[in-house]
């Protein structure tokens, strides 16, 4: 019998991870616990802060990422604000020093952006106030394609008072080159991601070579503009490209950083940090860890790392 294709294997993993009928069994699974230990800091903020402190001792920065349910009402948004402020207050004392800032990483869904932009803006402002007081930056995930305009407007509004707010841009989306130009002209800090699979051809590049080219064009725009840029990819070709473009633009370490997933390619992370680059590691924690593994498996390279862990080959 022939081996399953990569896409079919990815689909099987994704279906298994989020099947409600199997969730209790999966959470007790020894092999899945191994993946959880590698890619998730734990369920509590204290575990995430301990991981951030360890990363700092290995010359890496942290972006704490609370794994929360999607907010659908005021109570959900307030829970996000409370968790974010607590994480900011806890992580700041153990990672401060020099010009280094820790970071809190949030999804627009945690702020109920799609349901109530005004409430989302108020919540984000309060989180940024806490971040400014403790030298902890705030970064927003890209969110669904349908909410992109709302997200960019949210960032534009809140950045007036909190200029270090960072937004994520998905390079594989057709609109992102134009968005990169707009953000660069505004001086906004940008986290550039390659983007996972699953979005239709009408809004996103499907061919992987085209995706790489789109990433390169967005990156060239951002680095050429002088805005603070976060390169969030594990792809060696794109990392080499970022190095080259950074050299051409005369970027110092304060204007460019590389972001990696916790547990993914740790040797690469350390080599990059030891070479003098600013490295930040996304540190997820919280009750929705199974959903995080699902999100990780949506990426072909993420699926490979997950399978290696589950089969003991990591």
Round the average pLDDT of the chain to a whole number and report it: 87
> How many Cα atoms sit within 13 Å of 172 on the Cβ side?
22
How much is the pLDDT for 1?
47
Residue 216 to residue 281: CA distance in whole angstroms: 22
Residues in the chain: 314
How much is the pLDDT for 101?
87
Residue 296 to residue 309: CA distance in whole angstroms: 13
Residue with tokens 């279906």: 15
Res. 54: pLDDT tops 70 = yes
How much is the pLDDT for 294?
78
Q: Extract the runs of DSSP E, i.e. beta strands, from 117-271.
A: 136-140, 166-170, 189-193, 229-232, 256-261
Residue 108 to residue 110: CA distance in whole angstroms: 5
Residue 17 to residue 12: CA distance in whole angstroms: 9
Residue 205 to residue 225: CA distance in whole angstroms: 24
How much is the pLDDT for 105?
97
Average pLDDT over residues 251-277: 87
- Tell me the three state secondary structure of residue 52: helix
How much is the pLDDT for 223?
92
pTM score, two decimals?
A: 0.88
Contact 223, 256 (CB under 8 A): yes
| Buried/exposed code over 124-140 (b: 16+ C-beta within 10 A; e: otherwise) | bbebbebbbebbbbbbb
pLDDT band at 21 (very low <50, low <70, confident <90, very high): low
**pLDDT (tens digit, 9 = 90+) per residue, 97-154?**
667 789 999 999 999 998 999 999 999 999 999 999 999 999 999 989 999 999 999 9
Residue 211 to residue 192: CA distance in whole angstroms: 12
pLDDT band at 284 (very low <50, low <70, confident <90, very high): very high
> Which residues does residue 63 pair with via DSSP β-bridges, in sequence order?
103, 282
**pLDDT (tens digit, 9 = 90+) per residue, 62-113?**
999 999 999 999 999 999 999 999 999 999 998 766 677 899 999 999 999 9
Res. 156: pLDDT tops 80 = yes
Residue 184 to residue 217: CA distance in whole angstroms: 13
- For the four alpha carbons of 23, 28, 31 and 37, in that order, the dihedral sign comes to positive
Residue 78 to residue 71: CA distance in whole angstroms: 9
Q: Of all residues in the chain, what percent carry a pLDDT higher than 90?
A: 65
Res. 229: pLDDT tops 50 = yes
Three-state helix/strand/coil letters over 233-292: CCCHHHHHHHHHHHHHHCCCHHHEEEEEECCCCHHHHHHHHHCCCEEEEEEEECCCHHHH
pLDDT band at 244 (very low <50, low <70, confident <90, very high): confident
pLDDT band at 312 (very low <50, low <70, confident <90, very high): low
Res. 51: pLDDT tops 60 = yes
Res. 310: pLDDT tops 60 = no
**pLDDT (tens digit, 9 = 90+) per residue, 164-216?**
999 999 999 999 999 999 999 999 999 999 987 778 999 999 999 999 999 99
How much is the pLDDT for 24?
66
How much is the pLDDT for 97?
67
Residue 72 to residue 76: CA distance in whole angstroms: 6
Res. 276: pLDDT tops 60 = yes
Residue 92 to residue 162: CA distance in whole angstroms: 18
């Amino acid at each position: 019998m022939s081996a399953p294709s990569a896409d079919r294997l990815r689909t099987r993993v994704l279906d298994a991870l989020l099947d409600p009928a199997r969730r209790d069994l999966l959470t007790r699974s020894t092999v899945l616990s191994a993946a959880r230990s590698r890619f998730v800091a734990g369920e509590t903020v204290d575990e995430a802060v301990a991981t951030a402190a360890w990363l700092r001792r290995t010359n890496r920065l942290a972006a704490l990422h609370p794994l929360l349910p999607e907010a659908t009402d005021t109570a959900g948004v307030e829970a996000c604000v409370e968790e974010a402020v607590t994480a900011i207050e806890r992580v700041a004392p153990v990672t401060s020093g020099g010009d280094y800032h820790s970071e809190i990483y949030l999804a627009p869904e945690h702020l109920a952006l799609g349901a109530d932009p005004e409430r989302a803006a108020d919540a984000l402002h309060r989180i940024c106030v806490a971040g400014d007081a403790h030298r902890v930056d705030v970064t927003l995930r890209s969110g669904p394609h349908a909410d992109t305009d709302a997200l960019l407007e949210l960032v534009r509004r809140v950045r007036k008072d909190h200029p270090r707010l960072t937004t994520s841009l998905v390079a594989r989306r057709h609109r992102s080159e134009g968005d990169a130009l707009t953000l660069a002209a505004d001086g906004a800090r940008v986290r550039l991601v390659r983007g996972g699979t699953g979005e239709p051809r009408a809004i996103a590049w499907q061919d992987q070579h085209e995706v790489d080219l789109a990433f390169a064009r967005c990156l060239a725009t951002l680095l050429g503009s002088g805005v603070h840029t976060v390169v969030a990819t594990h792809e060696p070709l794109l990392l080499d490209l970022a190095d080259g473009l950074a050299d051409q633009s005369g970027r110092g370490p304060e204007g460019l950083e590389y972001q990696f997933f916790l547990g993914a390619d740790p040797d690469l992370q350390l080599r990059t940090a030891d070479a003098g680059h600013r490295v930040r590691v996304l540190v997820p924690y919280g009750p929705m860890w199974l959903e995080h593994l699902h999100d990780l498996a949506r990426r072909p390279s993420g699926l490979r790392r997950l399978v290696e862990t589950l089969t003991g080959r990591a």
